[in-house]
Chain A
Amino acid sequence: MAGLPLLPELVRQLFSRPATNAFPSRHLPPSITGFLAKVARGEATIHPPIPTPPKFRGKIVYDREACIGCSLCLRVCPAHAIEFIPETKRVRIYVTQCIFCSQCNDVCPKNALHMSHEFLLATEDRYAESQIVE
């Protein structure tokens, strides 16, 4: 249509599938736990999550056994999220401070640090068990 070039596209979209990534359930269920229980019983289906990219940098994983306590990671961490514990000669990583640059992964001589694909990390407690890796 002259002057409104978007109109044909809009009419086409009216009859095609929405481009939005679907939420796990179509609409907000009355009870989320109830919905999840239903999913577990196989009574309801859940939209699968969008996969993370191959090199995704999520929550940090720490191999305590491989670590030699050289504390090189402390020197390169931009967010000061890593703490060195002198008694055990190991490090402690605060996920709430981490900025997921994975620089510590690159610097580690023993490959003791990795980034996982886990990204649902929000909590209300900065020092919750899930927020501290050691």
Chain B
Amino acid sequence: MIETLPALLAGAVLVAAFSIIIGLLLMGFDRIVAARMQARIGPPLTQPFTDIRKLLAKENVVPENAIPWLFNLAPIIALASAITILFYLPIGGFAPVLSGGGDLILVMYLLTLPALALVAGGFASGSPYATVGAQREMVTMIAYEFPLAIVVVAIAWRLAAAGISLPFSLATIEANPVWGLVGPLGAIGLLILLIVLLIVTPAELSRVPFDTPEAETELAGGILVEYSGKNLALFSLTQGVKTVAMASLVVALFFPYRLAAIAGISGFAGAVIDLLVYIVLITLVAFISVSVIRVAMARFRINQVVSVYWIYLAIAGLAGLLLVMVDQIMGVV
């Protein structure tokens, strides 16, 4: 925990700037990789920066039958809450800015905030497309929360079963990588949980096949249909920051290793190595759960989104949890 207020503020600003830049780069990376998979050339890596700069220069149109204050407030809340998530997640070798101030359960709640802001903005738009999109976003949110909770609980339960105190704390998870605690059966269970989390990620970021709230061909952008200019730029930034946050969560839960410390490198070089490893890892997560999934599938219907999460992924998650539990009991016996 950082003690002084100025240091805290400096940390917050650094994390915000870092997450926005890395988020936009990840979006650019996703666009290039997706384009290459579709045998296209794709835009340059910096295209999202250009897009944001252009959006910031554009006029902000508020529709006639919108609720202006809510309509304008929603993007700000979305971006702020998305950045706040990263205050609680470790970035590279650095401890979270607000470590000790919150744990995984708080992170889970914070993850819903940008989506809720989006829903509020959608309802405030006063367009039938945005309303349908907002309804769908809420349903999607309810759908993916359950498997997400199973993954988080499974990991915390395993730590608690190993007799470690404060199992939901991210510092604890980092100090005790969960892979080291389980036997082969538990490793299979963890692998299943990792896959579940990777499939929850595209819904959290509302990408194909779970992009029903935005669904270009059905709702013409759905929840974002009325947004333009600065507001849309803020939502785009939110999208980038959320990608970083979700990828960081996956990395924090499943790859909480500090290679520099293991290799015995410390100081500045160690920090750089940790940061680079972290960036490579979140890029990998973004590649698998955003780019690959989105190019390989058609969009689901909203009821199919729900059944995918509530039935298939929930069963998979519970199976993973069960395997971890069986593994623990067998280990004790």
Contact = CB atoms under 8 A, between A and B. Distances in A.
Contacts of B36: 13-14, 18
Contacts of B295: 10
Interface string A4-15: 101100110110
Interface string A23-58: 000010000000000000000000000000000000
Given A4-B296, A4-B297, A7-B296, A13 B41 contact: no
Nearest to B42: A18
Contact of A14 (B33, B41, B44, B297): B33
Interface residues of B, number: 14
Contact of B40 (A7, A18, A27): A18
Contact of A13 (B39, B44, B292, B297): B39
B308 to A, nearest CB: 13
Interface in B284-323: 292, 295-297
A16 B40 CA distance: 10
Interface in B264-282: none
Contacts of A10: 37-38, 292, 295-296
A20 interface: yes
B116 interface: no
A27 B292 CA distance: 25
A2 interface: no
A70 B297 CA distance: 62
Contacts of B35: 18
A85 interface: no
Contacts of A11: 37
A27 B44 CA distance: 8
B296 A16 contact: no
Among A13, A22, A27, max chain B CB count under 10 A is at A13
A122 interface: no
A19 interface: yes
B289 to A, nearest CB: 14
Interface residues of A, number: 13
B296 A19 contact: no
Contacts of A19: 39-40
B22 to A, nearest CB: 22
B196 to A, nearest CB: 17
Contacts of A6: 296
Contacts of B42: 18
A20 B40 contact: yes
Interface in A75-94: none
A127 B35 CA distance: 41
A10 B288 CA distance: 13
A127 B157 CA distance: 79
Interface string B24-64: 00000000010111111110100000000000000000000
A64 to B, nearest CB: 45
Contacts of B38: 10, 13
Nearest to A11: B37
Contacts of A27: 44
Contacts of A16: 39
Nearest to B47: A27
Nearest to B295: A10
Nearest to A26: B41
Contacts of A4: 296-297
Nearest to A23: B41
A14 B30 CA distance: 12
A61 B33 CA distance: 46
Given A4-B296, A11-B37, A14-B36, 15 more contacts: A6-B296, A7-B296, A10-B38, A10-B292, A10-B295, A10-B296, A13-B36, A13-B38, A14-B37, A18-B36, A18-B39, A18-B40, A20-B40, A22-B41, A27-B44
Interface of B: 33, 35-42, 44, 292, 295-297
Closest 10 CB pairs of A and B: A19-B39, A10-B37, A13-B39, A18-B41, A7-B296, A14-B37, A14-B36, A20-B41, A4-B296, A18-B39
20 contacts: A4-B296, A6-B296, A7-B292, A7-B296, A10-B37, A10-B38, A10-B296, A13-B36, A13-B37, A13-B39, A14-B33, A14-B37, A16-B39, A18-B35, A18-B39, A18-B40, A18-B41, A20-B39, A20-B41, A22-B41
